[in-house]
Amino acid sequence: MVYNNNGTSRRDLLKATGTAVTTTGLMGMASASNGNTVEVNVGYAAESGRRAARSEAKRVEREFAFDALTIEVNESAIQGLRKRRDVRYVEKNGTMHALAPKGGNGGGGSTTAAQQLPWGIDRVDAEVAHANGETGAGADVAIIDTGIDSDHPDLVANLGAGKAFVKARGGYAESWDDDNDHGTHCAGTAGAVDNSEGVVGVSTEATLHAVKVLDKRGSGSFSDIAAGVEYVADQGWDVGSMSLGGSSGTQVLKDACQYAVDKGVFLVAAAGNSGPCTDCVGYPAAYDTVMAVGSTTSSDGLSEFSSTGPEVEIAAPGSDVYSTIPGGYDTFSGTSMACPHVAGAAGQLAADGSSNDQIRSQLASTAEDIGLASNESGSGLLDAAAALGLDSSDD
């Protein structure tokens, strides 16, 4: 979270040719425009529940593989569906967000040519991993966000498939292009190319997949986000990075996260930007299937905006993070910026054969104690080198 089509993968194409958020929360409900109808997510416990939901639907928007569907229905039918024993839940299809800009920004961005090592990449010892050949090559990291700039020179060599659940608005080359900045910034931290220009990411050769679930304003429905998570799982990708959320949970996204983890995906999410606060980690970070990430400053303090709570498992650099944006580079702050540091490190572990459970355990067990409380940083600060079994004593 920030203070500030299914297509052919470029990388797959090369192989085929022989080269191998100031506040979190719900911002209203996504309702249909005609009369007393509303869009809802329905989870069912039996096929009879599915049939009942479909029979009440004015329109079926989406069906999931994990026994849920999104429908447009008369409000008067909701209570009857909720009373059925074969229906697990009926929830209005609300929205979650990437948070709007607030503080720590570079003021319009730049087109920096010479490559920089951002302080956060250095602080988590990702450059130590690079020097030892740990670049994440072979791993698939999905940025579940506002999209990724499809022709950014610091990302294009690592870009894989894209999928838009919310299409980019404007004259973009791809429906999954980033029309907001947020997703591209996260992508750069997770996996910008080591190519002598711009910045370098935690994982410099992992394949980055754009899963666009948030629109130009950084908003996306529960159903769209859940569909994005389901899509990542169905592709068999290794990591799903979610720098998005809200202060209240949604059952359909909770189901989607469980589905993805059961399929082997490692899920990581930003804890939220509600700080200073106590016990205020947002969703989906608060789900037990997801690793929640808090944010730190360059002096190893807790970022003032970082949400805290018992769900926080790890911390990573999130204040004043320099990374890619469409057309250039900029400095953003937020737990949104901390999250992709962890996603990039997870990609390195996945490339070495670690399962999602092993990744989660290894990242936590090798985190560096920087003196913050457990509800602020969980096990401590991300140490990418240590997670890979490398010496990170230069700290």
pLDDT digits (tens, 9 = 90+) for 40-63: 999 999 999 999 999 999 999 999
From the candidates 152, 182, 209, 341, which is the catalytic residue?
Answer: 182
- Annotation marks residue 374 as catalytic: no
Partners of 29 in the β-ladder: 94
pLDDT digits (tens, 9 = 90+) for 70-82: 999 999 999 999 9
Asked whether the predicted pLDDT for residue 217 surpasses 70, the reply is yes
What gap in Å lies between CA 43 and CA 13, rounded to an integer?
Answer: 38
Average pLDDT, the chain: 90
pLDDT digits (tens, 9 = 90+) for 94-132: 999 996 544 444 445 666 668 999 999 999 999 999 999
Reduced to 3 states (helix: H, G, I; strand: E, B; else coil), residue 35 is coil
Report phi then psi at 382, rounded to 5. -50, 130
**What residue ranges define each of the domains in the chain, with the CATH number in brackets?**
37-93 (3.30.70.80), 97-387 (3.40.50.200)
Q: Which residue has the tokens 């459970």?
A: 357
* Whole-prediction pTM: 0.90
What gap in Å lies between CA 141 and CA 136, rounded to an integer?
Answer: 9
- Annotation marks residue 130 as catalytic: no
The region of weakest confidence among 9-23, 266-280, 309-323 is: 9-23
Task: Say what the pLDDT of residue 393 is.
Answer: 75
Mean pLDDT of 211-235: 98
Q: How many Cβ atoms are within 10 Å of 278's Cβ, its own excluded?
A: 11
Partners of 197 in the β-ladder: 114
- Annotation marks residue 182 as catalytic: yes
Q: Are 191 and 203 in contact (CB under 8 A)?
A: yes
Mean pLDDT of 220-238: 98
From the candidates 125, 140, 145, 224, which is the catalytic residue?
Answer: 145
Q: Is 357 exposed, middle or buried (0-12, 13-18, 19+ CB in 10 A)?
A: exposed
From the candidates 175, 223, 274, 336, which is the catalytic residue?
Answer: 336
Asked whether the predicted pLDDT for residue 334 surpasses 80, the reply is yes
DSSP classification of residue 29: B
Tokens of 318: 């999130």
